[in-house]
Every structure is written in C-alpha cells, then in structure tokens.
Amino acid sequence: MSASAALAEELPLEVAIKATYLYKFAPFVQWPDEAFPTPTAPLRLCVLGNGPVDKVLDEVVAGQRVGQRSISVQRFRNARAAAGCHIVYVAGTNDGFVAATLAGLHGTPVLTVTDLPADARAHGVINFVIVGNHVRFDIDDTAASSNRLVISSKLLRLAHAVKPRP
Amino acid sequence: MAMPNILARWKMAPTLTLVGAAILLSAGIATALYQENLYSAQKVREVTVQAQILAASVTAALDFNDNVAAQEYVNALKANPEMQAAGVYNADGLPVASYVREGRTRLPAKVRSPATSVEGNQLVVSVPVAHDGAVLGTVYVRSNIDTFERRLTRYGVIALLAGMAALLLTVLGTSQAALTRANRALEARAGELADANLRLYAEMEEREKAEDALRQSQKMEAIGQLSGGIAHDFNNLLTVIRGNLQLLERRIGQGQTDVKRYVDAAVEALKRAATLTQRVLAFSRRQPLSPRPVNLNRLVEDMNELLRHSVGETIKLETRLTADWWIYCDANQMENVLLNLVINARDAMPRGGTLTVATENAHIGALAGDATGMPEGDYVRLSVRDTGVGMSEAVRSKAIDPFFTTKPQGEGTGLGLSMTFGYVSQSNGYLDIDSKLGQGTIVTILMPRYDSESAALRA
C-alpha cells in the first residue's frame, strides 16, 4: 500500500476517534446551571470552521446520548453565533482564526476543543494531541475555570498534560 | 435413705455429661458454620464492591481508549493479596487491561456480566462498566475467599472441638470403667468381710464352748479335790449310821425297847449325807454364766458346810463377813472362785492352821486407785488368808499363770488361779496375792459394788 493510501486509511480512524471524543467529553464536564434550561435539553455540539472531523461528526454522533440528553450538532461561522453551544470544536489549523474565536468565547460556559500543535498561539480548554499511537488530549483547567466549567478528575487523569486551575 | 439417692444420681451423671457434650459440640459446629456463611457473604460483597470500584474508575479510560490508564487502575488491585486476577474488557469484549497473579490462572477471553460465581475457594465477579447509562465494557475479578490460614483455623477449631469431645468421652469411659471395677472390687471385699465375720462368729462360739468346757472341767477338778474330803465325811456318816444300826440290833436282841435314840441318830446322819450329796450335785451341775446381783455374805454363808468339809478337821475355818454391799456377778462362778481359793489355802497347810474368809465394804480413792489400777469407787473386798507355807516372790509372780502349779505331777492342773483371775477381771474386779514364805498367803479380791439405784440410772 502506498504511503498516502495508508495515511488516507489511518486518518479516518483518528478523525473518528476525535469526533467521538467530542461528545464523550460531555459526561466529564459540569456546566453552570443556566447552560441547560431543562434536564432533558439537548447537548449542543457546535463546529466552527471546516475540517475532517466535521465531516464524520454527524455519523459518529447519530443515536448517541449523553445521559438523558440528545446531541444536536450545529455549524456556525463565528464565535458570537456559537455563544449558546455547550461544546465548540474549532476546526481548522488557521492559527489566527482559532485564536480570535477562542478569545471571543472566553468567559462563556463553553467547552472549547482545538486540534493544534503545541506551539500554536492559543488552545482551547481541550486540545487533541497524538501520543505514541494514540489520540490523547491536553486540558487547560485554568481556561476551564474562566469559563465556569468543572472538569472531572477522571478526565484530568486521562489527559496527557494538564494546566491546573489557579 | 440418702445413699441410694446419691448413687442413682451419680449413675445419671455420665449420661447427662454426654448429652451436654453432644449439645456443646453441635452448638459449636452450628456456630462455626454460621460464621462461615456470614464470612462468605461478606467476602462476596467485598469483592463485588472492589470490582464495582474498578469499573467506576475505568469508565473514562474505556471511554477514551486509554489502556495505560486502565492498566494503572487494575494494577492497584495487586496490593490486595487475595486478588488472583483482574481484567478490564471494552465494549467489544476484548481485554484492554489485565493482571494475573503468578500465572496461576488465566483471564477468560470473553466475559458476561454481571455475574458472580464461586469456583472452589475462589470468587469470580464480573461487573459492567457503565457511564451515563451506556455500557462501556466489563470488569472481571477473581479473588480468594478462603486463605490457607483461615481454612487451617476453621478445620483446626473443628478438629479441636472434636478432639475435646473425644477426650471427654474417653475420660468418661475410663472413669466409668474404673468406677465399675472399683465397685466390683468393693463388693468382693464386702463379700470377703462378710465371710470373715461369719468365721469370726463361728470362732467365738467355739471359744465360748471351750471356755464353758474349761469352766466345767475346773469345777470337776475342784470337786475332784473335794472328793477326798467328801468321801471321808461320807465314810464317817456311814460309820455313824452303821454303828447306830448295830446298837439297835443288839438292844432289840436283848429285848430292850428304848431304841429310839439310835434310830434318830441314824436318821440325822442320813439327812446330813443327803444334804451333802445335794450340795455337791448342785455344784457340779453344768450351768451357763448368768450374772445377777449377789450378796457375797450370803453366798459365803451358804457355802459354809461345803467349805468346812473341804478344809477337813485339821484346819480351823473362820469367817468374818462384814460386807453388806451387793456385787454383780455369776453366783456359781463366785462359788467356784471361793472354793478354789479355800482349797489352795488348805493345800498350803498340810500340818493344819487357820483359814480366814473375810468380806468387807471398801472404797477405793484416787490414791489407792493408782496402786490397784482400779477406778475410784465402792467395792466389796473378799479375802482368803491362810497360815500355810507361803510362796516365794518368784512363785507368787507366776501363781496366776495358766498351768503353773507347785503340786506334784498328777495332782491339780494349775488352772484354778488363772481361771479365777480371768473371771474376776472379766467382772471388772481386781485380784491380788500377798505371800511370805513360811508365814502364809492372803488372796484379795475386789469386786465393784452393785448399786441398784445407779444401775437403774445407767440403764
């Protein structure tokens, strides 16, 4: 198999995993009370920008629930529009775009997830990272606390790197 | 009767103890089993909880496919020495993390949950890993529920209980056997004792018969002693009778009718002979010992005739009877005693002399008691004194020994004084011989006073 073909085959697995993680993070995150109007209100999983994860997200999320909540996937173009989401996946590798988006969502009860290399200008509360052959993630608990989010220690323990909250 | 009750209860004791031991043993075993059950249930709970804790811990790891994290949680169970194996399986049933102690067991390839089972002394628990209603995988745990020490202790305790019960039974059995043996030995002993007792009675009877025979022979001997004198007296009486009849014959032949005085004399002599005969017969009659109150003075006076005949004409017989107290004795034996002493006295005076028989009241005080060895009290003293040849100290000290006699062979058995001494002692009396060679002998007998009033009180 050619390298590109192999890469093309691997990519979907990594992408699928990242997509599943997006909603799998939800049970380990505690939003402030006003984030959910009712106990059965759906979990809003929003995507800003384009990327491979976005393409498989609908498939992966189909039929899944987070506790009692269903998952609704939405796509937006800017941060302001995504203000009511619970999880926002900022797709793309455009450093500047991501940084601006994150700044716009800072302080709102949103779990921001990014997929950027370590030396990027800004990262979300959770940032995917590949460790060995596995999809892992780094957690910025300081940012989480700024967004009034409480992240379960179970998730923190699994994180590759944690920036602890102050 | 207290004895049979105690014996009956004692017989029940072994049964009761057995029953008690059986109850204790059953109770002990029941308690042990109950404890075991409790322990097992508790152990199952514990292991299940451990599995559940592991399941809760690995939810995130399973969620995010973090096998390393899952393995960390599984490794934490290593610390529990009873944990034999543990494994975490993902939603597809494949193990993602595992631990097996010393390779003794293997993790199963597929696990169904929830499940609990006991295999031998191991408990197997599998628990689903779920988060928010979604099943992420399964946790499998295999643990020892019975450590070697616990099993040892349990069996040891039961063995101890059984051993104690066995020991108790053995002790009971042995003690019962010993008791039965002891009982039988006792019965045998009692039988022997009863036999010995019977033999003793038989011997006592024999002894009494022998004593009776001896007394009788003594009497006969005394009579034998007498018979010489009595025959002599009889002879005299017969001579008197013959003489008077001869005179009677002559006077009638001469035609005289004044013959009454010859007939009277003969009849008188006859009467005296008859009396003498009767006395001897009465004396010689075999009679059993029968003590009764006796007036010694009267006894001596009644025997006066007999005594005079026994001492003969060469010896002067004096009586000084001042005692008015009574004694308690067998009258016949006392007569025997007196006759015996008188005959001894006579024999000591071959050339004649004086024989004195005296009775008097006497009181033995504490001091005199020491000398005689008699308890303080009132006595009647009977003494027979002669003025005969006397005895040396050596002879005197042996005088009352049986078969001791100074008479030549064939004359006298030597039993008289010993029998006298025996009879006096038996009657709680006292006998003493005082003698000086060439001067004479005095034999003193002390018999306790018979006081009818105090005897009635004592009775």
The complex's ipTM works out to 0.78
Tell me whether residue B306 is exposed, middle or buried, using C-beta atoms within 10 angstroms of its C-beta: 0 to 12, 13 to 18, 19 or more: buried
Residue B286's pLDDT is 60
- Whether the CB of B133 is below 8 Å from some CB of chain A: the reply is yes
Is the peptide bond preceding residue B128 cis, with omega within 30 degrees of 0? no
What is the rounded distance in angstroms from the CA atom of residue A112 to the CA atom of residue A131?
21
Distance from CA of residue B431 to its chain's centroid?
A: 36
Residue closest to B21 by CA, chosen among B169, B173, B234: B169
Dihedrals phi, psi of B295, to nearest 5 degrees: -95, 110
Report the range of poorest mean pLDDT among B225-229, B310-314, B433-437.
Answer: B225-229
Residue of A nearest to B134 (CA): A67
Q: What is the pLDDT of residue B318?
A: 92
Q: b or e along B230-263 (b: 16 or more beta carbons within 10 Å of the residue's beta carbon)?
A: beebbeebeebbeebeeebeeeeeeeeeeeeebe
Q: Is the pLDDT of residue B423 over 80?
A: yes
Provide the number of CB pairs (under 8 Å) joining chain A to chain B: 32
Name the residue among B350, B349, B357, B339 with its Cα closest to residue B419: B339
Neighbours of B344 (CB within 10 A): 23
Mean pLDDT for the stretch of residues B163-172: 82
Residues of chain A positioned with their CB less than 8 A from the CB of B136: none
DSSP B41: H
Whole-number pLDDT of residue B419: 78
* pLDDT tens digit sequence for B75-113: 988 888 888 899 999 888 888 988 888 766 777 877 777
User: Inter-chain contact B59–A136, Cβ cutoff 8 Å?
Assistant: no
Per CB-CB distance under 8 Å, the chain A contacts of B70 are none
Handedness of CA B215, B216, B218, B222 (dihedral sign): positive
pLDDT (0 to 100) of residue A5: 46
Q: Phi/psi of residue B224, each to 5°? A: -55, -40
Query: What tens digit of pLDDT does each residue of A58-100 get?
Result: 888 888 888 888 999 998 887 788 778 999 998 877 778 888 8
The token duo for B371 is 């000398």
Mean pLDDT of B252-274: 88
Give me the residue from A24, A65, A67 closest to B63, CB to CB: A24
The token duo for A54 is: 């976005």
Residues of chain A contacting residue B59, judged by C-beta atoms under 8 Å apart: 154
Residue of A11, A82, A72 whose CA lies nearest to A44? A72
Q: What pLDDT shows up at residue A3?
A: 46
User: Which residues in chain B are closer than 8 Å to A66, comparing Cβ atoms?
Assistant: 132
Confidence check: pLDDT of A7 > 50: no
A21, A66, A152 member nearest B64 (Cβ): A21
| Confidence at residue B192, expressed as pLDDT on a 0 to 100 scale | 92
d(CA B236, CA B233) in angstroms, rounded, equals: 5
Region of poorest pLDDT, from A7-16, A23-32, B337-346, B369-378: A7-16
User: Residue B132: which region, alpha, beta or left (left: phi > 0; alpha: psi -120 to 50)?
Assistant: left
Q: Report how far Cα A110 is from the mean position of its chain's Cα atoms.
A: 10
- CA dihedral sign, ordered B149, B155, B158, B163: negative
Output the pLDDT for position B417. Answer: 82
> SS in 3 state form for chain A?
CCHHHHHHHHHHHHHHHHHHHHHHCHHHEECCHHHCCCCCCCEEEEEECCCHHHHHHHHHHCCCEECCEEEEEEEECCCCHHHHCCEEEECCCCHHHHHHHHHHHCCCCCEEEECCCCCCCCCCCEEEEEECCEEEEEEEHHHHHHCCCEECHHHHHHCCEEECCC
Q: Cα Rg for chain A, rounded, in angstroms?
A: 15
pLDDT for B3? 56
**In B, residues 249-268, which contact A (CB 8 Å cutoff)?**
none
Report the chain B residue with the minimal C-alpha distance to residue A137.
B64
Asked if pLDDT for residue B378 goes beyond 80, the answer is yes
Q: Considering only CB atoms, which residues of chain A are within 8 Å of chain B?
A: 17, 21, 24, 27-28, 65-67, 134-137, 152, 154-155, 157-158
pLDDT band at A159 (very low <50, low <70, confident <90, very high): very high
* Count of all residues that appear for chain B in the document: 459
Quote the CA–CA distance of B337 and B335 in Å, as a whole number: 5
Which residues in chain A have Cβ-Cβ distances shorter than 8 Å to B61?
158
Q: How confident is the model at residue A1, as a pLDDT?
A: 41
* Residue B69 distance to chain A (closest CA, Å): 7
Cβ-nearest to A158 among B66, B131, B134:
B66
Out of A27, A135, A136, whose CB is closest to B131?
A27
How many C-beta atoms surround the C-beta of residue A91 within 10 A? 23
Whole-angstrom Cα distance, residue B214 to residue A64?
Answer: 139
Chain B environment of A134 (Cβ under 8 Å): 65-66
> What is the reported pLDDT for A142?
93
CA distances from A121 to A94, B347, B356 (A): 10, 170, 169
Tokens of B260: 């009454």
Contact A66 B132 (CB under 8 A): yes
Separation of alpha carbons B204 and B189, rounded Å:
22
Query: What is the β-pairing status of strands A43-48 and A69-76?
Result: parallel
Token pair for B224: 């034998």
What 3-state DSSP class applies to B392?
coil
Which residues in B lie closer than 8 A to residue A132 (C-beta atoms)? none
B131 touches chain A (CB under 8 A): yes
CB within 8 Å of A149: residues ≥ 6 apart:
A29, A30, A31, A32, A109, A111, A125
Mean pLDDT in residue range A152-164:
91
CA distance B90 to B134: 12
Write down the pTM of the prediction.
0.48
- What percentage of residues in chain B have a pLDDT greater than 70? 88
- Residue A127: the pLDDT is 94
Provide the token pair at A101. 């988006």
